[in-house]
Chains A and B, each alone.
Chain A
Amino acid sequence: MRILVIAEQENGSLVETSLNAINAAQKLAASHGSAAIDVLAAGHNTDALAAECAAVAGVDEVIQVDAPQYAASLAENITTLVVELVRTRDYQAVICASTSVGKNISPRIAALLDVAQVSDVTEIIGVGTYIRPIYAGNIMLTCESAEPVQVLTVRPTAFDKADLGGSATVTRLDAGEDAGLSSLLGRELSKSDRPVLSSAPIVVSGGRGMGSGDNYQRLLEPLADKLGAALGASRAAVDAGFVPNDYQVGQTGKIVAPELYLAVGISGAIQHLAGMSDAKVIVAINKDPDAPIFQVADYGLEGDLNELVPELTECLA
């Protein structure tokens, strides 16, 4: 069996969730007995990216493809490349992380290969048998696919990061044509010195109970600074305009699984719980004793967040 993992890059550096996707590939390989795992490093000026991929333990071969049309990870260009690789190199599985890039690209690959895709896999039971969340994580579905090429997106937080310490061979292949269907005009990335929300060990999240964007900043930023935490929010806080959408944790936002998740002024709507209930420890601060968040929180603290949050920040000094 040969497995292709699509590495995700941003400005030529490997995005960490690719390591989770490689780990998922290793699990798939192990369930099959053994398998070769190749990683596609496509982008522009990809020498550093290819080297990063080659340094991941358990990777057999890195396929480096370098051309300007791959710089922005445009779906139309990456998918034709991957489909060509599947046909010429006979892969039986194509895996990428279910990030915004993976979710954009993968179904296009599956359709061009005329196979069904299994989305957002959280557990690999064997080749063709997977568990994935449906209905916003309220139901876990075990499903079987007999497709000749298994096209999977895997939820990064459900898999460990693959270890480093490998020395895969790097094979440089020619680029495909630029489809000319789309082009990147620009990106507006949230600038922050904080850890990345989806992979931070500690996350401090605020909900509608924060009352305002100013209050969110005034109370939660010092706390996050103290903890070295990423900042998140519930959809209610995003919809109320307290913070930008990329703060959103939940089924329609980011899925996080930190060591510690602090939910402040978050009631615990189903769709929010779907995004954070895999956290190791959950702390909830809320004035409503009946808030559903207390049912999943390991430690609940009932009271006025305007007093409790500064006190907590102080306590951590």
Chain B
Amino acid sequence: MKILVPVKRVVDHNVKVRVKSDGSGVDLDNVKMSINPFDEIAVEEAVRLKEAGSASEVVVVSLGGKGCQETLRTALAVGADRAIHIDAEDGVEPLAVSKCLKQVVSREDPELVIMGKQAIDDDCNQTGQMLSALLGWSQGTFASELKLNGDKATVTREIDGGLETLELAMPAVITCDLRLNEPRYASLPNIMKAKRKPMEQIPVSELGVDITPRIQPVKFAAPAPRSGGMKVADVAELVEKLRSEARVL
């Protein structure tokens, strides 16, 4: 069984992003970029399935500028077998990305797609569900546990009130939540080995998908700051303030 893992290159989660002074965008100059953390979990899960003998091949795919190749190498270094770089401008919207991924699915014919539940830059949380819809497949989003048994997958999902377990008909799209696994670090020999693994490049135009943006960004702004900052001396003063000043008790 082949597993396809889409990954996205995003601003590293430790970077505190800033808005450009004219509000036209996010300042990405000289900012550290990394694989989207939820996608890292997806790669790890796919590699574990291969190691357990449930999968035969793990193919990673990323859509965007040349920098995506670095992200794909990261995935190859933790055990993916080969990579596909769909060469496009950065910032393609989730609907267009899912249409491109659908084309990749029809070329590669995987039985399972595993990906992050959302990217930590645009926080859309859409692409997995959209891909599943376009393929007419089942979906198991926000997964914290995944088991495969023949033509079924059992997925435990993080839901607002706790957990739920679904049985999905394969093929399926799974999107990962944080607790699905803890991704490994790539070892130096594996990083070296990843450089020799195959990476196919496909210009996005070859996929026949209209990637024209549907949503126009108008303004980027920092959120309204909170005016916090008074300290109280002791518990008695805190309770007094909460009762008489804030009136929340």
Contacts and interface: CB of A to CB of B under 8 A. Distances in A.
Interface in A233-266: 244-246, 251-252, 254, 259-260
Interface stretch (B47-55, B66-74, B78-86, B134-142): B134-142
Nearest to A133: B123
A111 B95 contact: yes
B214 interface: yes
B216 A103 contact: no
B134 A107 contact: no
Given A186-B165, A316-B249, A139 B19 contact: yes
Contact of B16 (A138, A141, A180): A138
Interface residues of B, number: 73
A282 B241 CA distance: 12
A185 B154 contact: yes
Contacts of A186: 164-165
B125 A182 contact: no
B223 to A, nearest CB: 5
Interface string B238-249: 110110001011
Interface stretch (A38-46, A58-66, A293-301): A293-301
Contacts of B6: none
A104 interface: yes
Interface stretch (A28-36, A47-55, A85-93, A307-315): A307-315
Interface string B179-191: 1000000000000
Assign chain A's interface to a size class: 35 or more
Contacts of B127: 107
A254 B164 CA distance: 17
Nearest to B93: A116
Interface string B190-231: 000000000000000000000000111111111100101111
A142 B221 contact: yes
Given A107-B129, A281-B246, A135 B121 contact: yes
Contacts of B161: 10, 187, 189-190, 196, 246
Contact of A315 (B19, B141, B166, B235): B235
Given A140-B223, A186-B164, A134 B123 contact: yes
13 contacts: A101-B159, A107-B133, A120-B123, A134-B121, A136-B123, A140-B221, A181-B168, A184-B164, A186-B165, A277-B223, A295-B226, A300-B229, A300-B230
Interface of A: 10, 72, 74-76, 79, 99-101, 103-112, 114-120, 129, 133-147, 180-190, 196, 198, 202, 227, 244-246, 251-252, 254, 259-260, 270, 277, 280-283, 294-302, 308, 311-312, 315-316
